[in-house]
Amino acid sequence: MSREAPVAVFACGELMRGDDGAAWRAVAGLSSAAREAATIWTIGQLQPEDLLDLVPGTAVIVVDVVTGIEPGRVIAFDLAELPFHAAAHPARSSHQMPLAQVVGLAAALGAEPKGTVIGVGAASFELGDALSDDVRAALPQLRSTISREIHRLGGRRDGRQRVGRWVDEYDEYPAAARSSPPAAHSVR
């Protein structure tokens, strides 16, 4: 399935694993203007196919949690800088392909991903954990950074909302295994 240009947001994570659900919660609370300006996909982790399915010229924003920085610290950098960040902070998990390898493989297969990586430092990943206080406090800044990047990268302004697997699925998780969704945040 092809995804419309010009901006695709991939919010990566797992709601039932504490801070790992921060990206999903952040996109759920984006202003309607930001949601209408981009195609938003909530996914477990980015796969090469996600980038290969994009319409050529689509800008990409990957939002995920980051280890190795202070919990709650929000960072953003150009997707082209990913190999340098990956070298400085190697992946600590053996069950997933590191983001730099996903992007590199997609590029080797013909995708030309351009865009931004936005991360928030995380501390808690256990099944059933709630968001840590530091990450919960960082959600407004994370939303603001995502919104700013959507508009900087040329998000559509035609009023049509496009979503992939949207965050309304959040309600399918048992109440005991999740914390309350954040309130909507308007972009200044």
Residue 126 covered by a domain: yes
* Backbone angle region of 115, left / alpha / beta, with phi > 0 → left and psi within -120 to 50 → alpha: left
Assess if residue 14 is contained within a domain.
yes
Q: Which residues contact 145 (CB under 8 A, 6 or more apart)?
A: 74, 76, 118
Residue 168 has pLDDT above 50, yes or no: no
pLDDT tens per residue across span 109-167: 667 778 899 999 999 888 888 999 999 999 999 999 999 999 999 865 444 434 444 34
Decide if 178 contacts 15 (C-beta within 8 A): yes
What is the domain range of residue 21?
7-86+99-155
pTM: 0.74
Q: Is 61 within a domain?
A: yes
The number of distinct structural domains making up the chain is 1
| Residue 179 domain flag | no
Model confidence at 108, pLDDT cuts 50, 70, 90, reads: low
Q: Is residue 169 part of a domain?
A: no
Report yes or no on 175 lying in a domain.
no
From 52-66, 91-105, 106-120, 155-169, the region with the lowest mean pLDDT: 155-169
Residue 62 lies in a domain: yes
What CATH number is associated with residue 82? 3.40.50.1450
Residue 52 inside a domain? The answer is yes
